[in-house]
Structures are given as C-alpha cells and as structure tokens.
Amino acid sequence: MPKLKISRRQMLRGVLGGAAVAVALPPLEAMFNANASAYANGDDLPCRFLTWFFGNGVHLERFEPAEVGPTWSLSEQLAPLANVKDYLSVITGMTNRCEELITHHEGMTAFSGHTMSQVAEDELFSKAGGPTIDQLVADVIGAQSPVKSIQIGISKRPSVMDGGTTLYALSHRGPEQPLYPETNPQKVWQTLFGNFVPRPDDAALRQSILDAVSEDARTLRSQLGVKDRLRLDAHLDSVAALQQKIAAAPPACDIPGIPTETNTDVQGQEPLIAVNDAMNALLAYAFSCDITRVGSVMFMAGAGETVFSDLGQVTSHHDNTHDYPFALPKVHDAVIYTMQRFAALLELLRNTQEIDGTNLLDSTIVYCSSDCSEGWSHSIERQPVILAGHGRNKLVHPGIHYQAAPPPGSAGNLSDVLLTVLKAFDPSATAIGSGAPRSDTPLIGITGPAW
Amino acid sequence: MAACGASDSSGEVETGGAEPEPELVPAPGGVRRLLGRQYIATIDQMLGPAAAAAAEPPRDFPLHDFDAIGAAELSLSDTDIEQYELSAFAVAKAAVQDRAALAQLAPCVAESAPDDACYTQVAQRVGHMAFRRPLEAAELARLAKIGVDARVWGDDDFATGLEYELVAILQSPHFLYVAELGETVQPEGAEPVPYRVLRPNERLTRMSLFFQGRTPSLADLEDVERDGLDDAQAEALAWEMVNAPVARTNLSYFFDELYRLREVAGVAKDTSSFPEFSVQLGETMRAETLRMIATVIWEQDDDALAILDAPFGFVNDELAAVYGVPAPGSQSLVRVDYPPEQGRAGVLGQAAFLSRHAHPAKTSPTRRGLFIQTKVLCFDVPPPPPGVDTSIPEDDGEPKTLREKLQVHMENPDCRACHSLMDPLGFGLEHYDPIGRYRTHEPNGLPIDAQTEVTGLGTYGDAAGLGSLLRDHPLVSNCMVRNIVRNGLGHIESEGEEATLDYLDETWVANGRNMRELLVHIATSQLFSRVGEPK
C-alpha cells in the first residue's frame, strides 16, 4: 500500500477551525486537542463498525471456550484467532429469540433483533424483519465519511434451496431494501475510491443532473402507493448519498490501485483466500483514509453452498452439515478455515497504525455470528457471537468470555449484545429490534470504560 | 374516464374458447424497474448497438425465482444508483461517438453544426421514447438546459452537451421505472369497478416488455397515443410481436429462469467422481435445454408441452460423452435422438435439470421431486420442520441404494406427509446420475429400481414416462400459464386473477397448447389491460 501523502494544499483544507467541507484526512498531531482524545474542533476520533458472517454454524463443543470470564482461553475452533485474542470477547449460551423457525433464516435475527418478515408457508422464503445493526450504526455515523457503508461478500455460492432476501444479504435497511454483498474486489474498489479518481471537473453538471433525477423521483413518487413510495424514497436517499460523495473533497491518501483480483473461479474453484485478502486490504485502507466507517462482510451466504476446495473438499459446506455425523470432520475443518480468514481481517486491522498511536482494531468494533449455532440441527439456542476490537474502549479490553448459561440450555436475549454495540455508537439508543427478540437491556459485562 | 381509444370489453375469444373471459380483479399496479437485459435492449433500439455494448446496469436479484418479481418489489441501493450513473456515462459517450441510431430519433444531431435547439429536439424525441410519453414543457426545458450548460463547460462543444443530456435522460426514474398506474374508470350510473384501465402507452409497454424484452419504439408509442390501443388493435399487435424473431430470444430468458438454467454451471460437483463436470460443460447443458425448448416451441410450433417429453436433444462432443452418444465432432450443438434404452426425454431428462437438482456426489430424488411439485405442478410443499435432522443415513454395513435409505422419510411420521409428495417423483429419475448420465447401478454396485407410482400422476420408471404423464396433466398446463404470467407481470398471482388464469389455461389446452397462441391470449386478456390501485 502506498504511504499516506498529505500535500500542503490539502492540509490547509483541513478540519482546523471547523471548515464546512467534509474532508477525509488522516489526523495530524496538530489537529488533536491537548490530550489527543479528540480533534481540535471537538469532533470525536472516528470509530468504525463491521459485521462479519459465515453460514451453517459451528460445532459448539469445539467452539465454546471452557473457561468463563476474563481468564478464558481459546477453544479449538477459536484458535486461529490467537494473534488477536486480547481483542476478542466471545458471547455464548444466549438465546436468539426469533419468533419464526424455518431453518437458517432465524439465525439472521442475530444481526437485527427482528423476526424475519413475509415468511412463506410453502417455500423457504423470507425477507428481513427490519434494519440490520450495521445500517443502524451507519445512520448514526455514516454521514461523516464519503461512503455511508460498504457491503462485501467473499464466496459467491448462496443457498440453492432458499428464497427471499434474508439469507442473501447481511445488510438490510428494511424488508424490501436488501443491500446485497459485492463479491468482486474491483467493484468494491469502485464504490470506495472510484469517485475520487481524477476526472474533468464536471461535478456541477453531475449535481444538476442528480437534482433533476431527484425532482423526477419526487414527481413519480406522488403518483404511487405506499410500497412504491418507499422504493422511491430509497432512490432519493441514494441520489442524495451520491451527491454528497461528489461534493466530498478527495481524500488526502493516495487512491490505491484497482485490485487485480476479480473473484473469478479457476476450474470451478473459488479463490477464497485471495479475495478475502483483497477485500481486507480495501477495508483497512478505506478505514485509514476515512472513506467509510461501516461495513458488512458476508464471508459465505446463509445456508451457503460454498465448497472449501482449498481444503480438498468437493462437497458443499451446507451439504456437509447435513451429512451428520460422518462429515463432521469436514465441517470442523471448514470452521477452522473460516476463522483463519476472519483472523486475517482482524490481524490486518490490528497491524494498521493510525497517527494517534492507536491501531484500527482499537478503534473498530466487529460483530461476528452465523445463521444458527450448529448446522445439522439449525438450532438458534446458544447461538454464539464473537466481538472483536473495542472501539476506543467502548468494549471491555482485553476481552472476556461471557456465558449467559452453561451448556446445554441457553438464557437471556442475544439482542442484548446488539443493543450494547449500538449504544457504543449512539449512547441515546434505548432499545433494538421488535417482538420477542427486542432488547432494552444492554450487556454491561462486555462494556468498557468509555461506553 | 377511460383513456382515449382504450376499451375494456371482455368478449369471446376468436381462438375458440367456449366461455367468455371472466372479470379480472387485477393485482395492484405501480412501478416495475427495468431489468438489466431490458435496459440494455431498450438502449440498443434507442441509441444503437455500440451504446448497448457499453451499458452496465446493476445486477438483478430474483424473488420466487424470477428477476421480474425482484424488480417489482425491491428497492435499489446506493451502489445501484452509482452504477446507473456510471452506466449512463458509458452509454452516452458511445451514443455520441456513433450517432447513427440517435440521428434516427433526432436528425439534428447528424448535422454539421447543430445549435442549442437540437438539445430541445433530443429532449423531445429521445425523452419521449425513454419516458414512454411526451415530456412536459418544464421537463424539456430542464433537459435542454443541461445540454447547454454542458456545452458551455465543454469549451463550446456540441457533443459534450449532447452527452450530458443523454446522461440525464438515462438516469431518470421515468426511464428506469415502468409505471403501470392506469386511469380510473367510472361507468355511467353503475358501481365503481375494482380496477383501473391501463393507458395506451402503458398497455403497449407491457406488451413490448412481454414479447420483445424492451420498451416500445417511438413510432409505436406515437401510434397508440394518436389512435389509442383497443382490443382489436392489441390483438393485431400481439401477433406481430409474437412472430418477430426477438420474441424467441425473450421467451428463452423465461425458461432460463424457470428451470434455473443459469445456476447449472456454478453447481458444486464432486470432481473426483465427475471430473468431466466443469463450468463449460454446465453452460453447454444449459444451452442444450434452451435449444430443445426453442425447437419445440418455435420450429415445431405445435404442442408447447412437448418440451416435457421430446425424445431429442443437442450435444457437442463434451455433452455427447455424458449421454453416451457418439461425438458429433463439433464444439457447437448438433441435434441427436436419445438412445431409447435410456428412457431419456424432455427437460426433466436432460443433464441441466438433473445436474442442478442433485448433490455434488449423490442424486437427490427429494430435490428433483420438489422441483417437479413446485415448478411443474405449482403445488406448494411446506418446508421441513425446524430442528429435524435432515441427514441421510449412511451405510450401516449393509449396502443400500439411495432409494432404500430414503425410506426413512416414509417411515417417520414427521417426514412422511411432505416427503411422500417429493421422493416418489424423484425415484423415477434415479437412472440419471448427479450429472445426468444414464446408469443402471449405483456406485456401490447395487442395481437401481426406478419404477415408481405417484398418486394422481401414474406409474413410470424413466424421464420419458414421467414426461408423457406430466404433459397431459391438467395441473401442468395451468402451472405453465401461471409461471409465464408471474414472469411477465412481476408478481405472484392474487385471488382476483385465479379465474382468468384458469380460463387462459382451459382455452390453451382446448386449442392444442400452442405457445404463440397462449402468449397472444395472455397479452390480449384483461391481465394486460387492467391494473389495481398502485401498491
């Protein structure tokens, strides 16, 4: 990655003195207040948020750490995360209180606190029940960076048996607003950096065109019914976001070169490691340059048909979880492999320094879970969550193993973790979700001194 | 007030339906987004092939297996809006560079030194075609101003102004979303009716998307705006459209989605057992099924449901090896009759369907049976109860065939109700392995027993037997009609549409199940002239 280069001209356009223009500049010493705890103009130092997802669950007896509390040690399936262990909190034994059970779909309630909606009687179909946590956080902090949030996918093999939107996107703004993951690193690059590639300065023309587009959307909207008005509202929001992006000054960082990786299969095999690495690099760079502060990574889709060919496997992960117990070793190997990919992201964030002496994992919170606790039973009891990073001491650091109840049962409400994370970005939040999975009780035990 | 020229008489159909068309209570109207391929095809006609080649709309995501339903229900995202802007610039650049098609619409662009009035002409002509209606004065002025402003910014270059004006048109929601709002009808002195009548341009657009996969030409739009579009005119137009070559291409997209053919190349297969399976082979399998369907429907032009038991296919050398037929010595597809001893016939006997609905190393009678129930018979099968262990028992020392192992579905009362609807159907296809190859024995050496009896369908032991039973089953033609309408209109059928769908099916069957006739009948029914309140 090229080093951050800051030109004199760009320094002069900085946030000193509270300039109105949104600028993506890495912080310089002079910009901090006396304690280096905030920008000179009072803005908080950026915190970032990521969700991370893999389908088909884990094997609880090899995943859950044995010891509870601060003196916990890594289990077999968490061992790949050894290099970032201090940054991890693991939450086990909690109940996902989703009100509908159709297999896999209900696991996604762990990312929103809502039961899925439009569950069909006659097919494995549902839509998201409400906005996911990353979009709630993006609504709070997204306006502070040119890109409100980014949706990334690694494996391109979704479920072959399910319908709707719940399992196919990790980010949702609502039942009719899935934000599908982008699995091509070049397109992710385009979303993050493409707008800053120098071009003839036609910003004013683009803006007036988008103004006209918005006017057309409002005219059309006025003729429509309730459902379609929501779609035109989403269209208007997206146009406004693009207009803000066009108005944003280019970042002080060098624009990274477009990645060569396109996530194209070789003899039917997905280049999972290369794509994961490329996406991680884009995320770390985007965080450093403050291009975005929120993202979601769908490593594999819900009930996904990913084949772990790097492990010599030829059957899909979902199939393996239903070849119980004979394919258990393959499932275990795949969980280890998945945790290795997760570790690669966390290690890169940890290894990316910022000028205030923190690293990106210090200033980020990552929320990781699956679509069930174990794939063969589809159970959502004891559905585990891994939290990584502490978001500038909003979460306890070093992390702990929080166990709501010892095996085999489960207790509590998994959405408590979601609320805790939401409040790390929006202290005024009092509840998250709806219905049985709704929570208004954050999990104090995992919070840090700054929460 | 009915739109000028529109009529909504339900009358007897000339093609020989004995009953009059039932009164349709239509599904809600509203807006449907153009699919990517429709966006491209429309640009091709509007701005030419170079512009179409440059187009890069955002991806479509299906609901209920059809992209059109996703496009009718789901919202766009930030990245989609950005992608439309990128695409608009690429298209506009290409359209300005090669102006032949654009000049057909707006001749002034081909002049040596067009002035600002040309921007107004472009707004009028291109805008009219893109928005599918004449533009208001304010809209024309706004677009022309964008052209002028861009010209000035671009050092007085007319082409630059043209480019930005096209960019504006291509991003407008009036282009991207197809409005199907209709007008309210108030019969004199009578009860208000539970539907609106589509305006002529809306009805024309619906027909154009249905047959041609794009929005209408400017000439056709102007015709219906001037003369209206009554039932007789619609019927004449429908026949013209169904007989045009592009109708064949467009219908193939429907079958591509219905039979999940787009997914064949990406399905995971155990490459140690099936080293020949590859992305390329999967695409060939897809192409074979589409070619067979096109041959039956357009060349044979007789009973469309012969796609279920046609005894022939199309192979290149690679696919020939899967079917165990002599290699034709060709990379492109050559027609072949399947060997009779394989009992192979129809879509369900072809490698594409058989591969897509199987596991990487094992067949799946359940998946194949589920597809037949839900997509060929349109019969709903509930999902498995949560918490149930869905693993297939492995060998316990005593070798068993897959069929024998699946008996546990029938013995377990939790499983039986639904699995009895799926597994017996799939057992009849057990002679076709996970990539569709014919086999008499399983890999463990046990002989396969594929004789099966399905309540309400009959007895068979191969794809040909299954296909011929399905072909004449009343639920199958009905289901085909439903699927065509779901894809054509972008929604799952509602209560008020049931009678009309049944009527279309009955007429279709009574008249020999010709596809052209069905498509015309659908497009001239009240499904295409009425719409409910906007959703």
A378-416: pLDDT as tens digits: 999 999 999 999 999 999 999 999 999 999 989 999 999
Q: Where does A370-451 show beta strands of DSSP type E?
A: 385-388, 401-403
Contact A168 B85 (CB under 8 A): no
**How much of chain A is in helix, strand and coil states, percent to nearest 5?**
35, 15, 50
Distance CA B180, CA B209 (A): 12
Contact call for B279 and A378, based on CB within 8 A: no
Q: Which residue of A has its CA nearest to B282?
A: A268
Structure tokens at A352: 């990316």
What's residue B344's pLDDT? 98
The position carrying tokens 């950005």 is B82
Q: Please identify every stretch of chain B with a pLDDT value under 50, giving residue numbers as ranges.
A: 1-17
Check B177 against A210: CB less than 8 A apart: no
Residue B521: name the closest of B480, B473, B474, B476 by CA.
B480
Residue A107, number of CB atoms within 10 A of its CB = 29
Binary contact (A234, B150; C-beta < 8 A) = no
User: What ipTM, to 2 d.p.?
Assistant: 0.93
C-beta separation of B531 from B29 below 8 A? yes
How many beta-carbon pairs below 8 A join chains A and B? 195
With cut-offs at 50, 70 and 90, classify the pLDDT of residue A9: very low
Q: Do A123 and B383 touch (CB under 8 A)?
A: yes
- Nearest chain A CA: its distance from B455 CA (Å): 20
The pLDDT of residue A11 is: 35
Chain A nearest CA to B392, separation (Å)? 7
**Chain A touched by B312 (CB under 8 Å):** no
- Residue to substitute from B64, B77, B178, interface A, most A β-carbons within 10 A: B77
Residue appearing with tokens 């209180």: A97
CB proximity B393 to A under 8 Å: no
pLDDT digits (tens, 9 = 90+) for A281-332: 999 999 999 999 999 999 999 999 999 999 999 889 998 998 888 899 999 9
Measured between CB atoms, which of A177, A205, A227 is closest to B30? A227
Nearest CA in chain A to B72: A228
**Angle between the B117-131 and B218-227 helix axes, to the nearest 10 degrees?**
80
Considering only residues A8 and A66, tell me which one the structure prediction assigns the higher pLDDT. A66
Of residues A103, A122, A209, nearest to B146 (C-beta): A209
A180 to chain B: closest CA residue: B77
User: Min CA distance, A226 vs chain B (Å)?
Assistant: 6
CA-based nearest residue in chain B for residue A313 = B270
- The arithmetic mean of pLDDT across residues A18-27, rounded, is 36
Q: Distance from B428 to chain A by nearest Cα, in Å?
A: 21
Start-to-end Cα distance in chain A:
33
- Best residue of A314, A317, A324 to probe chain B, by most B CBs closer than 10 Å: A314
Tell me the nearest-neighbour CA distance from A200 into chain B, angstroms: 10
Give the whole-angstrom CA distance, residue B355 versus residue B358: 6
Chain A: give the shortest CA distance to residue B430, in Å. 19
User: What are the chain A neighbours of B164 within 8 Å (beta carbons)?
Assistant: 202, 205, 209
As a whole number of angstroms, the distance between CA A302 and CA B491 comes to 25
- How does B150-187 read in b/e, with b if 16+ C-beta sit within 10 Å? bbebbeeebebbbbbbbbbbbbbbbbbbbbbbbeebee
Q: According to the 3-state scheme, what is the secondary structure of B25-49? A: CCCEEEEEECCHHHHHHHHHHHHCH
Chain B residues within 8 A of A194 when measuring between CB atoms? 86
- CB contacts, 8 Å: B384 with chain A: 103
Nearest CA-CA distance, residue A376 and chain B, Å: 6
- Whether residue B153 and residue A205 make contact (CB cut-off 8 A), yes or no, is yes
The verdict on a CB contact (< 8 Å) between B78 and A238 is: yes
Residue B422 contacts A where some CB pair is shorter than 8 Å: no
Chain B contact probe: residue of A125, A216, A229, A383 with most B CBs at under 10 A: A216
d(CA B267, CA A307): 10
Q: Which of B77, B270, B382 faces A238 most closely, judged by CB atoms?
A: B77
* Residue A287 near residue A352, CB atoms below 8 Å: yes
- Min Cα distance B62 → chain A (Å) is 8
Q: Which value, in Å, is the radius of gyration of the alpha carbons in chain B?
A: 26
Answer whether B143 sits within 8 Å of A212, measured CB to CB.
yes
pLDDT the model gives residue B412? 82
Task: Please give the Cα distance from B25 to B195 (Å, whole number).
Answer: 6
Interface test with B, best of A235, A306, A382 (most B CBs within 10 A): A235
Chain-chain contact of A212 with B382 (C-beta, under 8 angstroms):
no
Q: What pLDDT, on a 0 to 100 scale, did the predictor assign at position B393? A: 65
Query: What residues in A contact B534, CB-CB < 8 Å?
Result: 223-225, 228
> Phi then psi for B278, rounded to 5 degrees?
-150, 170
Asked which of A13-27, A238-252, B206-220 is least confident by mean pLDDT, the reply is: A13-27
Q: How far is A305 from chain B (nearest CA, A)?
A: 8
User: How many CA atoms within 13 Å lie on the side-chain side of A82?
Assistant: 6
Is the minimum CB–CB distance between B266 and chain A shorter than 8 Å? yes
Residues of chain B contacting A102 with CB distance shorter than 8 Å: 383, 386
Q: What is the DSSP string of A125-164?
A: EEB-SS--HHHHHHHHHGGGSSBS-EEEES-----SS-EE
Could you tell me if B56 lies within 8 Å of chain A, comparing CB atoms? no
Query: With contacts defined as CB-CB under 8 Å, which chain B residues touch A176?
Result: 73-75
Asked if A123 lies within 8 A of B391 by C-beta distance, the reply is: no
**Interchain CB distance below 8 Å, A165 and B74:** yes
Q: What letter would DSSP give residue B295?
A: I
Residues 123-142 of B with CB under 8 A from A: 142
Looking at the complex, does the CB of residue B268 fall below 8 Å from at least one CB of chain A? yes
Residue A37 has pLDDT above 80, yes or no: no
Mutation target for A interface from B79, B285, B390, B486: give the one with most A CBs within 10 A: B79
Interchain pair B391, A267: CB under 8 A: no
Shortest distance, CA A57 to any CA of chain B (angstroms):
14
Helix (H) or strand (E) holding B458: strand B458-460
Nearest CA in chain A to B76: A235
Contacts of A182 in chain B (CB under 8 A): 79
B394 touches chain A (CB under 8 A): yes
Q: Give the one of A179, A202, A208 whose C-beta lies nearest to B77's C-beta.
A: A179
Instruction: List all residues 6 or more positions away from A44 whose beta carbon is below 8 Å from its beta carbon.
Output: A38
Assess B449–A contact: CB distance below 8 Å, yes or no: no
Cβ of B499 under 8 Å from any chain A Cβ? no
Query: pLDDT band at residue A14, thresholds of 50, 70 and 90?
Result: very low
Do B391 and A377 lie within an 8 Å CB cutoff?
no
- Least Cα distance to A376 among B99, B281, B350, B389 occurs for B389
